[in-house]
Amino acid sequence: GWDCIGFVRYVYKQFGVSIGGYTTSVLSVGTRVSYANVQPGDILYWPGHVAISIGNGQNVGAWNESWGTRVGKDSWVGPNPIVIRVFR
């Protein structure tokens, strides 16, 4: 389905990166970096939600059927997400 992990999987698949079907799957696809060093394209992980950073404290992610896929503030989900960098 089109949920947060489905969206992240789809985007990264376009660049040849395979990610499993659970939000925790993103934790093993790249290198963890500090949130202070987040860059556009990094995966943001919060327990139960993942999104892709677009920088400046914002991300794009699939939320739910009523919100759809949209840009939102990182703080909407919670402070200090784990940041996964796949591309350097």
For 2-55, write each residue's pLDDT tens digit.
799 999 999 999 999 999 998 999 999 999 999 999 999 999 999 999 999 999
Structural tokens at position 58: 């914002």
Confidence category of residue 67, pLDDT binned at 50, 70, 90: confident
Q: Give the contacts of 67 (CB within 8 A, at least 6 positions apart).
A: none
Q: Is the pLDDT of residue 1 over 90?
A: no
Q: Of the candidates 63, 21, 20, 11, which has an alpha carbon nearest to the alpha carbon of residue 41?
A: 11
Q: Of the candidates 58, 56, 45, which has an alpha carbon nearest to the alpha carbon of residue 4?
A: 45
pLDDT value at position 81? 96
pLDDT value at position 77? 87
Q: Is the pLDDT of residue 86 over 80?
A: yes
Q: What does pTM read for this prediction?
A: 0.93
